[in-house]
Structure formats: structure tokens, C-alpha cells
Homo-oligomer: A and B are copies of this chain.
Amino acid sequence: MKLYSYFRSSAAYRVRIALNLKGLDPEYIPVHLVKNGGEQHSPEYHQINPTELIPAWIEKNIQDEFTLTQSLSILEYLEEKYPDVALLPQDFQQRALIRAVSQSIACDIHPLNNLRVLQYLSNTLAISDEQKTTWYRHWIETGFKALEIQLKNSNGQFCFGETASFADCCLIPQVYNALRFKIDLTLYPKIQAIYQHCNTLSAFQNAAPEAQADAA
């Protein structure tokens, strides 16, 4: 098993948390998104993931090789294949609500602040750094305001229920990201409490950007 990752990628960070929670330890292959014009655009990586985005997951055995992209589809696959530590409950409605929060982050917040989008804003649209920061904060704040309501039933430890789920795998990287852009977390007390609690757990600590080999 191999995970193609970049220490700061939110999407890779989600998968790293899930792997740690499930006790899986794949080979970690760093792909530097900035150096050399972005190693995700190399012919080698393009073969693995034609979208040229991080992460990618590869399983090899004697018979065949299986390559999978998209962080949430990797999470669903790990959940089906390694169900012992469950990151989704059995109840259909609870599963659905957890997926909805995960997708609110993965579809409505994160893609707008992805590196390639920020590069387009600077390089093609020539907007100022100040405008870019305003853009970045706007989508996080819009998303967090709604998330704070969606998480109103959280116990302040995890997004849903008494254990970590897909939603926590998505939320913690997004908050890490928001803090880099100095978002005031005190405006979102549920999100802040969940972030603080999850980061007391080794599965989350060991998935953090600064704990990765390529963070140096």
C-alpha cells in the first residue's frame, strides 16, 4: 500500500487521519506541490492520477495493481475494506449526515482555496495578495458559519457521536488550514472544541503536516 501525499495538502491529511485511526501504515510517497513547477504535474504522477491532484492510493499484489484518487472515495474504500475501526456508524441517517458534513468541507470550502485556484487568481486574473486573502477567508467563513449550525448536536469532542468519523477526518485539516490564514476560531465554538479535542489524539497528531517526513 502506498499513499502519494504532500504534507500541507488538506485532502492527503484527511486520508492520513483515517489510516492512523484504522491502524494502517502504507508507504508514504511525498509529491511536492510547489518545487520543480509542481511535482504533481510530472509525467510519472500524471500516469498515476490524471487529475494531477493529491492524494492517490495504490495497492499492489502479485496479480494486479489498484490505483484510487479522491480523498473521500479513498475513505469510503478503506471503510469498506477495513471495517474493524468504523468511521461511519450503522444507522443510515447518521451515515448520511456525516457524509453531508464531510462533503460540505470537501466540495464547498476546500476546492475554492486549493493551490491551483490560488495560482489562477494570482497568475491569470492578476488579483492582489490582499484580494486573494479576502477570497480565502470568505469561503472558509461562509462554510464555518454553516458548519457551526450543522454541528450543533456535537458533544464538543467529535463532530458526531462518541467516536471519530469521516467528518472529523475532513474538519481537522480544514481548521488547520483556516488557522494558517488567521481565522478567528472563537467565533465557531463547536468547531474549536472539536479541533482541540481531536488534536489530543495520536491518530490526529501523527497525521498533522508538521509530523510528515516531507515537512522539513
Q: State whether A51 and B95 are in contact (beta carbons under 8 Å apart), knowing that A73-B103, A100-B69, A120-B138 are contacts in the complex.
A: no
Kindly state the separation between the CA atoms of A128 and B145 in the bound complex, as whole angstroms.
30
Q: CB of A178 within 8 A of chain B?
A: no
Tell which of B52, B80, B99, B134 touches A76, judged by Cβ atoms closer than 8 Å. B99
Instruction: Give how many copies assemble into the complex.
Output: 2
Q: Find out whether the CB atom of B150 lies under 8 angstroms from the CB atom of A50.
A: yes
Kindly state the separation between the CA atoms of A80 and B95 in the bound complex, as whole angstroms.
10
Q: CB of A213 within 8 A of chain B?
A: no
For chain A, the count of residues having a C-beta within 8 Å of the partner chain is: 45
Tell which of B134, B146, B150 touches A52, judged by Cβ atoms closer than 8 Å. B146
Q: CB of A205 within 8 A of chain B?
A: no
Q: Find out whether the CB atom of A77 lies under 8 angstroms from the CB atom of B92.
A: yes
Per-position binary interface string of chain A over residues 34-66, scored 1 when its CB falls under 8 Å from any chain B CB and 0 otherwise: 000000000000000011110000000000001
Known: A51-B150, A103-B106, A124-B135. 6 other contacts (CB 8 A): A50-B149, A51-B108, A66-B93, A69-B104, A107-B110, A112-B112
